[in-house]
Each structure stands twice: as C-alpha cells, then as structure tokens.
Structure 1
Amino acid sequence: MPKIKKLFVTPLYHAALSDIGGSIDPDELEASCYAIAEDDEAGQQWSEENGYPGYTSYASLTDLGWRSPIFADLIKLLDAHVAAFARDLAFDLDGKELKLEDIWINILPEGGIHTGHIHPHSVISGTTYVALPDGSASIKFEDPRLPMMMAAPGRTKDAPEELRQFAYVAPKVGDVLLWESWLRHEVPMNMSEDDRLSVSFNYAWT
C-alpha cells in the first residue's frame, strides 16, 4: 500500500496566556499600551516617517518591562510559553537559553495593515493580543517553500489546512501565538473602526 509521510512541519504555537499559569488583565494592558504610546514621541514620529499606520514602539522603546509592571508580568508568562514551544521544537540549545530580545506595542487603526515580513536574527517570534474588534482581521502565514513552487498548481478550496499555501489564524484577546522567526507573515487590513492592539516580541539564542 502507498505510504505518504508529511515532512518538514512548520509548527505554530497557539495558547491562552493563562494556560501556563498566571494571568494578565487585558483592560489594564490596553490602558498601559495607550499610555506608553501617548508619551512615546519618538515612536509616533518613526511610525509617521516610515508609513506605519497607527503606532508601534518597535524602533523607539526597549524597556517596556521597566516602564510598566504589567509588562514585567507579561514577559514572565511569555518566557514560560517560549520555553514550552522550544521543547516541542526539540531545539538543542547547547546549554544556552532563548532570551527576550525585543518587545513592542502595535496599535493598528481602521484601514491599517502590516505587510508580509520575517524577523531576521531571531529564533522565535510571536504576538499576544490585547484588543481585537470585529473586522480587525486575522494573522496570515505563508508557506516558506512558496518561492520554490514555480510550476506547482494551486490547491483546491477544500484542501487540508496543512497543504494550503497560506494559513489564516483568528486569535482571541489574551491569546499568544509563537512561530519560528523565519516564517513569513502579515496582518491583513483592519476593517473595524476601532484599534487592533497587540504586543509582539522576538527571542534570540544567547
């Protein structure tokens, strides 16, 4: 009988922050995000100059855990989730650790998008979700082999998810998604009148 193996899996970790112990008040986290954004003139300027819709602290702040106690609590939870994901990935870390390298706020208003990108020089990247109004869109992941599929036909509409060339994930407030940093992803347009808030981060091997 023919035997088909599914090789070269692309894992995606999806959990509630509270699944691993501890909890974060989403209202308090949202208020903290807006307070930091309001004070971060450098981040506002960078977002405007670089065509980023809304606001991100990606290029301006590196100390969110110091600025707000709730971010310090969030980082502790993220550390635990990333450690669990690394074990599932069977990483040989050679006695070293995956440590938080960057963490930043994203406020995406109506009409805002974040086009396809990867996170170079990191091992695991991810996002936790603070506010997701209806119509604010899922996150879209791209098959990393797509550039090599020069002559491959498209997939049928009812193809299994693991065979599709793009995957859409609809998280909930309080969820965390983790993936290997080389995985290309994007945020489709926010169709809601309200802001979509998230906190993204990178972990490096040090």
Structure 2
Amino acid sequence: MSNIKSLFATRLYHAQLSERGKPINPDELEDSCIAIANDDEAGQDWCEENGYAGYTSYASLDDLPYRFPIFKDLKKVLDKHVKAFAKDLAFDLGARKLKLDSLWINILPEGGIHTAHIHPHSVISGTTYVTMPEGASAIKFEDPRLAMMMASPGRVKDAPEDLRQFIYVAPQVGDVLLWESWLRHEVPMNMVEEDRVSVSFNYGWGS
C-alpha cells in the first residue's frame, strides 16, 4: 500500500500579540512609530540614499526597546511568542536562549516594496503589524527549495497550501508572524494610498 508523507517541514507561526503577555496598545504603537520616523534624520537620509521608498529604522536605530517604553513592552511579548515557536520547532538550545538582536520600524507608502530577502546571522525572524489598511500588501513566502526545482512543473491553482511554491499571508493589525530566518520572503508593492506600518525583528542564539 502506498505511503506518502511530508518531510522537512517549513513552519510559520501566526498569532495575535495579545495571546501572550501584556496587551500592546496599537494606537500608541502607531503614534510611536510615526514620531520616531519623523525625528530620525539619519534613517530618513539612509532611505533617500538607498532609494528606499518610505521609512525604515533598520540602519539608524538599534536600541528601540531601551529608548521607548512601548517597545520594551513589545520585546517582552515577542520573547514569549518566540519561545513558543522555538519549542514547536524542537530546537535544542541547551543552556542558551534565543535573544532579540534587532528590532526596527517599517513604513511602506503607496508604491513602496520590500524585495525578496532572507535574514542572515539570525535564527528566527518576524514581523508584527501596526497599520494594515484594507488592500495593503500581503507578505509573500517562497518555497526554500525553489532554486533546486530545475525541471519541476508548476503547481495547479488549487494545490494544497503545503505544496505551493509561493504563499501569501494577509495579516491583521496586532498579528505577529514568525519564521526561520533562512526563509525567503518579500512584500509586494503597496497599492493603497495609506501607509502600511510594521515592526520587524530578528532573534539570534545568544549566550
């Protein structure tokens, strides 16, 4: 009798921030993101010099949880989500923990795009969503084996989700998504007039 099973799973964690730890006020978080973006001249300059549509604090501010109380609260909640995901992934961390090593703001205006990328030197990466206008871009994940499918046909439109080559996830405000940092992903062009605001982060294997 035939036996077909899935091997080498790619896991994606999707939850509401409020499921673990202190609730984060979405309006306060949005106001903080906008205020930081308006004041961060170094970040604005970096975005302009690098042709980055919108704003990111990735290259300018690396200590948001120490500067602003709401980001400190956010870190505590994210720590709990990441701990749960690491357990699901059956990671053998020994005496060391996964620790937040970077956290940054993304403001994607109409026409803005985040091209496909991975997060080197990290173990778990993710994003929590602050403002998601109706029709704003979903996040797109790519099958990590895609480069090795040299002669593989495409998939039928109604293929099961775990057999598709690309997966689109349309999160809601207050959602958090986590994935292993090697998973290639992108945000297609934002086609709505309102800004799409999110906070992304990386966790490494610390001491």
TM-score (structure 1 length as normaliser): 0.99
Alpha-carbon distance in structure 1 between the residues aligned to 2:172 and 2:67: 25
How far apart in 2 are the matches of 1:136 and 1:109?
10
> For 1:110 and 1:67, how far apart are their aligned partners in 2?
29
Please list the CA deviations of residues 73-120 of structure 1 after superposition, one character each: whole Å capped at 9, or x if unmatched.
Answer: 000000000000000100011210100000000000001010000000
Distance 2:114 2:129 in 1: 15
Q: Give 1:73-152 correspondences, 5 Å limit.
A: 73-152=73-152
| Distance across 1 between alignment mates of 2:160 and 2:75 | 35
Question: Matched residues in 2 for 1:66 and 1:51: separation?
Answer: 29
Partner of residue 36, structure 2: 36
**Partners of 2:104 and 2:21 in 1: how far apart?**
23
Q: How many residues align?
A: 206
Q: Offset of 1:3 from its aligned partner?
A: 0.7
User: Match of 2:45?
Assistant: 45
Counterpart position of 1:192: 192
- 2:15 is aligned to 15
Amino acid paired to 2:34: Y
Which residue is equivalent to 1:56? 56
CA-CA distance at 1:52 after TM superposition: 1.0
**What are the ranges of 5 or more consecutive residues in structure 1 without an aligned counterpart?**
none
- Cα RMSD for the two superposed structures: 0.6
Give the match for residue 167 of structure 1.
167
Distance of 1:114 and 1:21 partners within structure 2: 30
**Secondary structure in structure 1 of the residue aligned to 2:155:** coil
Residue 174 of structure 1 and its aligned partner are, at CA, apart by 0.1
CA distances 1:33-83 after superposition (whole Å, capped 9, x unpaired): 011111110000001111111000000001111221111100000000000
For the residues of structure 2 that align with 1:75 and 1:3, how far apart are their CA atoms?
A: 44
Deviation for aligned residue 1:21: 2.9
- What code does the residue aligned with 1:15 have? A
Gaps of at least 5 residues in structure 2 are: none
- Does the 8 A contact of 2:21 with 2:76 survive in 1? no
2:137/2:191 contact within 8 Å kept: yes
1:8 alignment partner, SS class: coil
* d(CA) in 2 for partners of 1:77, 1:105: 17
- CA distances 1:166-199 after superposition (whole Å, capped 9, x unpaired): 0000100000000000000000111110000000
TM-score by structure 2 length? 0.98
Amino acid at match of 1:197: V
User: 1:139 & 1:175 partners in 2: Cα distance?
Assistant: 12
Matches of 1:71 and 1:187, distance apart in 2: 23
C-alpha separation between the residues in 2 aligned to 1:49 and 1:21? 39
> 1:24 maps to which residue?
24
The C-alpha deviation readout for 1:1-22, integer Å capped at 9, x for no partner, is: 2010100100000000011132
